[in-house]
Amino acid sequence: MEELFATDKTRDLLPRIKEFLVKEIYPLETAKNITGKFSELAVILDQKRELVKQLGLWGLQHTEEEGGHGLTLCEFGQVSEVLASTPFGHYTFNCQAPDIGNMELIGKYASQAIKDEYLHPLIQGKIRSCFSMTEPDYAGSNPVNMGTTAVRDGDEYVINGRKWFTSSADGAAFAVVMAVTNPDASPHKRASQIIVPTNTKGFKIERNICIMGDHEADHWSSHAEVTYTDVRVPVSNLIAAEGMGFMLAQERLGPGRIHHCMRWIGTSERCLDLMCRRAATRDMGDGTMLGEKQIVQFWIAESRAEIDAARLMVLRTADNIDKFGASAVRNQISEIKFFCAKIMLDVIDRAIQTYGAYGITDDLLLSFWYRHERGARIYDGADEVHKSALARSILAGYGLETKKKKSSDEAVVAFSR
């Protein structure tokens, strides 16, 4: 099935990436590294990043002009799956969220001055960034409603508000902040996206939100609550134009969901591999292997079929985005989001059940993924939002027009990393 979407580039890159991960990254998956301070592990991972550069595998998501390989979305999706076989894969190759989304957005819409100051160091892996949109006081599933404002004062914006789930804020050099600049405009044209250096006066990380017991201090995948108090930045830090914030958020989501879904598939593949290894080697005490139990066989078979189906759906969607654009395949984008998230969580759960008590310890990756990936059914729009939007679109083809407002249908950019 993989050959259906294979290209000369993927046939060359994927084996090289897999070999690197197995040799250099998998040995780092210890309980200490998974649960310890990321800043300590980052020292080692930064050395691995240099190896990636030496192998010519750095910046795979970028155009050839930016020093990348000029991969299509469908090609990079296959790369993303392989990288997701380890929690450290995307970071080591400098294509982790939210940096990859910020790089795409800034590269396409920002001024040359912004690119010089922020994008180029980000591409080189010298700095990290964060994305600041979701707010605790407003429903994340409808980001046209937000309280953070950016009021123009001469050549500056003065930003005030409170955000949370600002992904990767701890250790980031700058934030891409979504704030209301045009309060009297129509709902989808009120907000803008503005770059705020994190060392700006008034920018404060109030806390790293504890996620199922993990505080994730100084971690690239941390989720922070951030306050903006009279934060002043130049108007030139505006990305694109005023009122384009919602459009820019939507722009992230087509490619972003491909990245997410292929990452979830890669995680599922690794969990299935761990499950099969356990089933094939765990002696039940009478010479019978765990894998001889029919229920375990069912779990393995179901996981294999579901992962294969999910991959085919996502790569089809990515290929269609490459050919026709994201807006033309909105239904497919919604479909893969809720479908892949549930499959991943089911596979993780089956793998844990196969390992028994061992499976819930931090000696394995399974507990890490169980904690960190439960949010997959929430961020980028809750599954229920996507299901409802997809069903209404289908029913419209049968002549049933629902009373749901279009703005709610489109408000699926919640918690977009």
**Residue 37 burial (C-beta neighbours within 10 Å; 0-12, 13-18, 19+):** middle
CA proximity to 230, closest of 190, 203, 199, 197: 203
Q: Which of 219, 242, 265 is the last residue of a domain?
A: 242
Q: What is the reported pLDDT for 312?
A: 96
Measured CA to CA, the distance from residue 131 to residue 234 in angstroms comes to 18
381 and 363 in one domain? Answer: yes
CA proximity to 372, closest of 8, 35, 22, 12: 35
Q: What is the reported pLDDT for 216?
A: 64
Kindly report the CATH number assigned to the domain that includes residue 366. 1.20.140.10
Q: What is the reported pLDDT for 2?
A: 60
Q: Which of 242, 272, 299 is the last residue of a domain?
A: 242
Residue 210: inside a domain, yes or no? yes
254 and 213 in one domain? Answer: no
Q: List Cα–Cα distances, 233 to 150, 152, 359, in angstroms.
A: 10, 10, 48
Q: Residue 371's Cα: distance from chain center in Å?
A: 15
Measured CA to CA, the distance from residue 67 to residue 347 in angstroms comes to 36
SS3 207: strand
Task: Count the domains in the chain.
Answer: 3
Measured CA to CA, the distance from residue 109 to residue 248 in angstroms comes to 9
Q: What is the reported pLDDT for 267?
A: 98
Q: Are 223 and 164 in contact (CB under 8 A)?
A: yes
Q: What is the reported pLDDT for 152?
A: 98
361 and 269 in one domain? Answer: yes
262 and 366 in one domain? Answer: yes
Q: Which of 75, 95, 115 is the last residue of a domain?
A: 95
The string of DSSP letters for 247-284 reads HHHHHHHHHHHHHHHHHHHHHHHHHHHHHHHHHHH-B-
Domain span including residue 395: 246-410
For 186, residues 6+ apart whose C-beta sits below 8 A from its C-beta are none
251 and 235 in one domain? Answer: no
For the chain, residues with pLDDT lower than 50 are: 1, 406-417
Residue 103: inside a domain, yes or no? no
For 387, residues 6+ apart whose C-beta sits below 8 A from its C-beta are 334, 338
232 and 163 in one domain? Answer: yes
Residue 56: inside a domain, yes or no? yes
384 and 305 in one domain? Answer: yes
251 and 395 in one domain? Answer: yes
Kindly report the CATH number assigned to the domain that includes residue 167. 2.40.110.10
CA proximity to 356, closest of 253, 263, 275: 275
For 199, residues 6+ apart whose C-beta sits below 8 A from its C-beta are none
Residue 41: inside a domain, yes or no? yes
Residue 123: inside a domain, yes or no? no
Q: What is the reported pLDDT for 211?
A: 86
For 391, residues 6+ apart whose C-beta sits below 8 A from its C-beta are none
- Specify the amino acid at residue 207: R
pTM of the predicted model as reported, rounded to 2 decimal places:
0.92
Q: What is the reported pLDDT for 407?
A: 43
pLDDT single digits (tens) 370-407: 999 999 999 888 999 999 999 999 999 999 987 655 44
Half-sphere exposure of 318 (CA within 13 A, CB side): 28
Q: What is the reported pLDDT for 324?
A: 94
Residue 329: inside a domain, yes or no? yes
377 and 270 in one domain? Answer: yes
Q: Are 270 and 303 in contact (CB under 8 A)?
A: no
220 and 185 in one domain? Answer: yes
190 and 55 in one domain? Answer: no
Residue 100: inside a domain, yes or no? no
Residue 356: inside a domain, yes or no? yes
pLDDT single digits (tens) 185-210: 999 999 999 999 999 999 999 999 98
Kindly report the CATH number assigned to the domain that includes residue 86. 1.10.540.10
Q: What is the reported pLDDT for 415?
A: 39
261 and 382 in one domain? Answer: yes
- DSSP secondary structure letter of residue 290: G
Element (H, E) at 176: strand 174-180
